[in-house]
Structure 1
Amino acid sequence: MRTTVKTAAVTLAAACALLLSGCGGSGGSDASGPGSGSGPAADVSTAPSQPGTLLDTPFNKPQLHLTDNQGKPFDLVKQTAGHPVLLFFGYTHCPDVCPTTMSDIALAKSKLPAADQAKLQVVFVTTDPDRDTPARLTEWLGAMDKSFIGLTGDFTTIQNAARSVGVGIAPPVKEKDGSITVTHGAEVLAFWPKDDKAHVLYMSGTTAQQYAHDLPKLIRSEAP
């Protein structure tokens, strides 16, 4: 499997401290992949010193209409309105960043009181829609948390939505050796329920313990 983890860092004044991760679909070695974000690229090797970064300018929730993992139409803005939301763009054949991120979020969520667990919506938008069918998303996400929402559909629609919140993704590329490289942002955006805007950005490497510390504050629309 071919994998790359990159960051595209932009100043907090611009409200975009972003990560780019390129992950291979099959094979074994690490490799670099092009990003579609802006700003200088830098390797990511350690967890952030603090869990979340408070954005100077919150992002509006993307106007995104896709198909969920139950095969039903899903309007992201409408169907997550008034809920605390964690949004991540990735894909199920990812060897490292995606399963680690979603597993850490699932573990953190499991530590919340039942009432708070019911409020939190975790949304996983695939960057590899050709392979990530609703059935595949249900199987993959269900192994972590059956309440997680998986979305798939038209790649251009997904890419435009990702860009609207500063996440760079690129179309999957089939390599000469048959592996597939998928380049996508590795950050998690946290939307507060009071205004449905993303106020907090979590970098790749944020631990389950760090998410667990912050989730109660997210549910109350408070800064980490």
Structure 2
Amino acid sequence: MPRTARTARLAGAAAVALAAALTLTACGSGGGSGSPAKVTQQKADSPYDGTVLSKHFDKPELQLTDTSGQPFDLRQKTKGRSTLLFFGYTSCPDVCPTTMGDIGVAMKKLSPEERQKVDVVFVSTDPQRDTPQVLRTWLDSMGGDFIGLTGDLAKVKAAAKSLGIMIEDPVVNADGTVTSTHGAQVLAFLPSDDKAHVLYLSGTEEKTYEHDLPLLAKGVAA
């Protein structure tokens, strides 16, 4: 199957808030990521290797179902904790497993005490297929303590939009594969204010996460 790529554009109020700082990439069931996202504003003296946002986004209000089948309130459950948040889907052939795999490798290099201070949350953009069991099986190959959330796609899209991330409804292709177009960046929320301060673009290398995760575990200001 030929590799395909789609580039998602920011929309609505979230796009204005980001002030055209990003060009989002997306992944589909038949292809790779789009053009690398471009950042026009970032803090030069930050200790983080990731991109520090000039605008800090609130952690979205989002109530979904976790991989144990229980209700999960994102704000409540991760309050006061360093949190990495990524939107994607388990049948994605490229960006999603690569991103989560890199985070998983970096997390394994933290001490047990440090790992306990960082939540990694994966929110499905294809909830019809990403059941709690499917999510758990997929996430376990990368991080057994990763949090997987699935549920109402309208809620997922609204939460993502509040962060400047576009998500489109999944499309079933003629060959039965599924394409779920979504922004492919990871946002890091700091425990001091539960706001997103650091951005990791599609294609971020594992060594960047390896450098930044200990800082996130300590809640170091961006």
Which of the five TM-score ranges fits, normalised by the shorter chain?
0.7 to 0.9
1:152 aligns with: 150
Does the C-alpha gap of structure 1 residues 106 and 73 become closer, same or farther in structure 2, counting only changes over 3 Å? same
Q: Does 2:41 correspond to 1:44?
A: no
Aligned partners of 1:7 and 1:108: how far apart in 2? 28
1:14 aligns with: 19
Residue pair 2:85, 2:121 contacting (<8 A) in 1 also: yes
Secondary structure of 1:183's match? coil
Higher strand share: 1
Aligned partners of 1:45 and 1:158: how far apart in 2? 22
Aligned length: 208
- Counterpart pick for 1:169 among 148, 167, 170: 167
More divergent stretch after superposition (4-13 vs 65-74): 4-13
Aligned partners of 2:80 and 2:23: how far apart in 1? 25
2:101 aligns with: 103
TM norm structure 2: 0.85
2:90 aligns with: 92
Aligned partners of 1:186 and 1:207: how far apart in 2? 14
Could you list the per-position Cα deviations for residues 135-184 of structure 1 after superposition, in whole angstroms to 9, with x for gaps in the alignment? Answer: 00010001111100000001111000000111111000112333221101
Aligned partners of 1:12 and 1:54: how far apart in 2? 15
Aligned partners of 1:175 and 1:135: how far apart in 2? 24
Residue pair 1:16, 1:55 contacting (<8 A) in 2 also: no
Stretches of structure 1 lacking an aligned partner (at least 5 in a row) = 33-41
1:35 aligns with: none
**Per-residue deviation, 1:7:** 5.9
Secondary structure of 1:98's match? helix
Does the C-alpha gap of structure 1 residues 8 and 221 become closer, same or farther in structure 2, counting only changes over 3 Å? farther
More divergent stretch after superposition (13-22 vs 70-79): 13-22
1:203 aligns with: 201
Aligned partners of 1:154 and 1:220: how far apart in 2? 33
Q: Give the aligned residue type for 2:19.
A: A
Could you list the per-position Cα deviations for residues 87-143 of structure 1 after superposition, in whole angstroms to 9, with x for gaps in the alignment? Answer: 000000000100000010011011111111011100000000000000000100011
Aligned partners of 1:210 and 1:66: how far apart in 2? 30
Residue pair 1:4, 1:31 contacting (<8 A) in 2 also: yes
Aligned partners of 2:176 and 2:194: how far apart in 1? 41
Residue pair 2:85, 2:122 contacting (<8 A) in 1 also: yes
Residue pair 2:32, 2:95 contacting (<8 A) in 1 also: no
Aligned partners of 2:118 and 2:207: how far apart in 1? 17
- Counterpart pick for 2:28 among 10, 23, 26: 23
Does the C-alpha gap of structure 1 residues 89 and 197 become closer, same or farther in structure 2, counting only changes over 3 Å? same
**Per-residue deviation, 1:43:** 1.7
Q: Give the aligned residue type for 2:124.
A: T
TM norm structure 1: 0.84
RMSD: 2.5
1:4 aligns with: 5
Does the C-alpha gap of structure 1 residues 60 and 130 become closer, same or farther in structure 2, counting only changes over 3 Å? same
Residue pair 1:7, 1:44 contacting (<8 A) in 2 also: no
Aligned partners of 1:186 and 1:125: how far apart in 2? 12
1:39 aligns with: none
Residue pair 2:185, 2:200 contacting (<8 A) in 1 also: yes
